[in-house]
Chain A
Amino acid sequence: MKARGFRYYRPGSLKEAVHALRDTGPDAVAMAGGQSLLAALNMRLSNPSLIVDIGDLPELQGIEEVDGVVRIGATTRHADILRNAVIGKRVPLICEVGSHIAHAAVRNRGTIGGSLAYADPAAEWPAAMVALQASVILASPRGERVIPAEQFFVGLLETALESDEIIVRVDVPIPASGIITGFGELARRHGDFAIAGLVVCTLIDKHKLIDPRIVYLGCSEYARPAVNMMRALDQMEIPLSNAANFADALRKDAPSNDVPGLRGETRQKIAEVLTRRVINSLERPK
């Protein structure tokens, strides 16, 4: 339960940070809060040669609203996002989703950029950012690029990040008026990894779902639009009475295998019940 040896570097700027990553190569890793990395280091699941500590770089911190977009700096801590007035007013879904991230002490240190870069399939931010159609801004010695969250996540713990790239910020478009959002997850205790959960953004017209956007967490390999469910539920009347008309779609979007302690069938059932619960409790437009 002690980390192996590595070298540690505290850069003075983002430029120094990305150059250190480039010059060291792929076994260098950027660390902000370290709330996932330290656990992996202590258990010796991770063995970087160099840790670049970007946690205190001022240029990666802060939240601001610019032209209909809320910009969240990569190393903004979960706790600071949850108590931010702009986010609470403009994208309250973020606060609802974020309150389920881990425990108080972890929310005090962990950062949104770290969560996105780690891309845990049970994590809340990746699912929320894909559902909200956010963009991820990346920096490297070659400059900056912008990538839609939907294309940023590419597999289990895998992202489009190159080894010399660092997430600078995430830009969340403020949902258009009429968009209704919902979230639900089930964990064994508050703050544990989600067994299953989902984020929903949709229009509702005359008790029908219009063009719903759904992203699962915990029961999907990585954060991505649940395209089969989105098709199955489009134009469907709410409240959803039973799962018969979306069970096949859910099986495709959230295929669940047996794992120690949890049968795939059980997880599937949980995802199904949560889907109905979240959709049926969406607040109707006034």
Chain B
Amino acid sequence: MSGNDREIGLESIVIDVLINDRRVVRRIDVRQHLGDFLRVDLELTGTHLGCEHGVCGACTILLDGRTTRACLTLTAQAHGKQVHTIEGLSESGALDELREAFIAHNAAQCAFCSSGMLLTAHELLQLGKTVSRDDIRNYLSGNICRCTGYHAIIDAVESVLRAKGGAA
């Protein structure tokens, strides 16, 4: 420490954030990550916490429209931004085709990874590119599933892409 008597920074701050298009203003501990804020403070438990160090992808949410790992994001970093979770996107109908395809292809077994898989697959669809099966596999590579062996998930995403004319 430099011996300054004025310490810089705060241990708790007020954040103002849009969660699933609803304005939320709360005081939070700055050490809290966004996954805990969603699950504990807001009781949005559709965002799952697996590894909490950025490896498993279960906590994937959309921050300003882009997939983001909630466990690798401080709640404080979401200040002034938009967050969408599996709850918000499910209610809006944005995931309907993907959800139906996941059910049809048996792509959810225990479903722990499903919210993250759905949001990541949703982002891939939004990119609007023509993609191959390998591209789908690479795009979903940051989301770990311990049940299905991935083929069913890739089948499901491919079927939605095919229906939209985006599968190579």
Contact = CB atoms under 8 A, between A and B. Distances in A.
A102 interface: yes
Contacts of A39: 53-54, 72
A191 B52 contact: no
A20 B63 CA distance: 27
Contacts of B8: 7, 9, 20, 23-24, 28, 50
B10 A7 contact: yes
B31 A6 contact: yes
Contacts of B66: 79, 105, 108-109
A8 B27 CA distance: 13
Contact of A34 (B53, B73, B120, B142): B73
A5 interface: yes
A24 B33 contact: no
B120 A105 contact: yes
Interface residues of A, number: 43
B24 interface: no
Contacts of B137: 190
Contacts of B2: 22-25
A156 interface: no
Given A7-B30, A50-B9, A103-B57, A34 B77 contact: yes
Interface in A159-179: none
B67 A42 contact: no
Contact of A102 (B68, B120, B142): B142
Nearest to A22: B2
Contacts of A8: 9-11, 13, 30, 74, 76
A55 B60 CA distance: 19
A189 interface: yes
A147 B69 CA distance: 33
Interface of B: 1-2, 4, 7-11, 13, 29-31, 33, 36, 51-54, 57, 60, 63, 66-69, 71-74, 76-77, 79-80, 120, 123-124, 137-139, 141-143
